[in-house]
Amino acid sequence: MKKLKILSFFLLISFSVHSQTEKGRMLLGAGTHIGFSNGVGMMDMYFSNSTREFADGSSEKSSSYNIFFAPKVGYFLTDNLAAGIDLAFGWGSREIFLNAFAFEANNSLFGAGPFVRYYLPKGKILPFAEVNSIFGNQRTRTDMAGDTESNTGITNIGGGLGLALLLGERSSFDLLLNYSSNRANFESDGFYTRQNTIGIKFGYTIFLGK
């Protein structure tokens, strides 16, 4: 009888995990990304302060921050395989003070693109792999001897391996080791920049349906 109860317990866990990622269900998620760079593209969450001292006694102080928020909605096309849409929202600022000179730039980002995620149902912790892309626009408003405004096209392609830590039957906390390639197109100036980043995504997912 004791062995039967143990077997029933593990069968129940297996069924519950599989049902979360079965065909026909939906997922809703939200998260952010912490990377190891703070360049153009605004796909990271970061805060930075620095000071430089020069030989003539002058100094330069700079500070910057960026807030990045990425909701998603997906549908399980087959068991364990979901596809859907990623959204990207970013807000940031950079300030530089050099003696009497001051520079400030305020940025905002919006983007969207497809993603595909595949789960391996193994228990209360689900390994998964994900690839995604974001296509969007970054608006920069600069205050330096008068306001100027510019728009930059953003293309981001990424992917990685992660773990979904189940929080009951309908939600999970997600951690993803992510690689991304980000391209910023400065069309008005006739050039572009590309930045490759390895970072950590973390977020929260809700499973809906059935």
Q: What is the pTM of this model?
A: 0.78
- Cβ contact 183:138 at 8 Å: no
- Alpha carbon of 163 to those of 73, 86, 96, 117, 127: distances in Å? 18, 18, 39, 12, 4
**What domain count does the chain have?**
1
Nearest to 152 by CA among 180, 189, 187: 187
- Alpha carbon of 198 to those of 38, 161, 168, 179: distances in Å? 12, 12, 30, 5
Nearest to 158 by CA among 138, 182, 124: 182
Full pLDDT tens readout for the chain, 210 residues: 544 444 343 434 444 445 688 999 999 999 998 866 555 556 778 787 888 777 777 777 888 888 999 999 999 999 999 999 999 999 988 887 776 677 788 889 999 999 999 999 878 899 999 999 999 998 988 876 667 888 888 899 999 999 999 998 899 999 999 998 888 877 656 667 888 888 899 999 999 986
Cα(55)–Cα(201) distance, integer angstroms: 41
Structure tokens given for 59:
């100094």
Domain that holds residue 200: 2-208
Nearest to 150 by CA among 162, 138, 159: 138
CATH of the domain at 83: 2.40.160.20
192: left (phi over 0), alpha (psi -120 to 50) or beta: beta
Nearest to 65 by CA among 112, 119, 105: 105
